[in-house]
Structure 1
Amino acid sequence: MLGHADFEAQNLRWHDDIRAVHDWDSLAWQPEAALAGAASGAFASDSPPTLAPIGSSAAFLAAYQDLRGRRYTAEEQEVAWAASLWAAAHNARWEALHGDPPVSGDAVRAQAAERLRRANA
């Protein structure tokens, strides 16, 4: 699937529903579950960017599957949970390289084990 791989709040504009998505240099060709999973980890992120709480990611993935009318397979669930760390890991790298406060880094350290457990990784 072709989709947006940086689904952070600062890249979205909406009024009742999403009206525009910015930052299209983050266009990616990935499995649908990977794009949805990445969005589930980043959708609540603003400035500074961080990682959504695990419960929020789970609710995002459940709502996404409900709206699309098909539940993910076990393998797709694993892909989605693994991909939920992508943006936060990228942002943690940025923080470390630039000496920024470790907002994403702290979130990754706190949540990675559980997200990776759900990913069976």
Structure 2
Amino acid sequence: MRYAAALLTSYQDLRGRRFTEEEREIAWAASLWPALHNARWKALPGDRPVYGGAVREQAAERLHRAGA
């Protein structure tokens, strides 16, 4: 999750404007998608599901930051 936070901070820095509260919530909610996609990809038959635990651990915090 620290990578998502760093990405969001860097993105705001590069664009020269901080997110509004609504934009920040949307960004945190959207951050679940790539995490879930990566976990699904790693859980395909024949691969060891290495990301599932991380997604389960991070989902509640990401949704909390998303205001969900």
Identity %: 69
The structure in which a higher percent of residues are strand is: 1
Runs of 4+ with >6 A deviation: none
Verify the 8 A CA contact 1:65 1:72 in the aligned structure 2.
yes
The aligned length equals 68
Q: Whose relative contact order is higher, 1 or 2, with alpha carbons under 8 Å and at least 6 apart?
A: 2
The structure in which a higher percent of residues are helix is: 2
After superposition, the C-alpha distances for 1:31-73 in whole angstroms (9 at most, x for unaligned) are xxxxxxxxxxxxxxxxxxxxxxx22321221121011011111
RMSD (CA atoms): 1.6
Tell me the equivalent position of 1:105: 52
What 5-or-longer segments of structure 1 have no aligned partner? Answer: 1-53
Report the TM-score, using the length of structure 2 for normalisation.
0.81
Tell me the equivalent position of 1:93: 40
Structure 1 position 118 matched with structure 2 position 52? no
Tell me the equivalent position of 2:22: 75
**Separation of aligned partners in 2, 1:71 and 1:60:** 13
Once the two structures are TM-superposed, the CA of residue 84 in structure 1 deviates from its matched residue by: 0.9
What SS does the aligned partner of 1:59 have?
helix
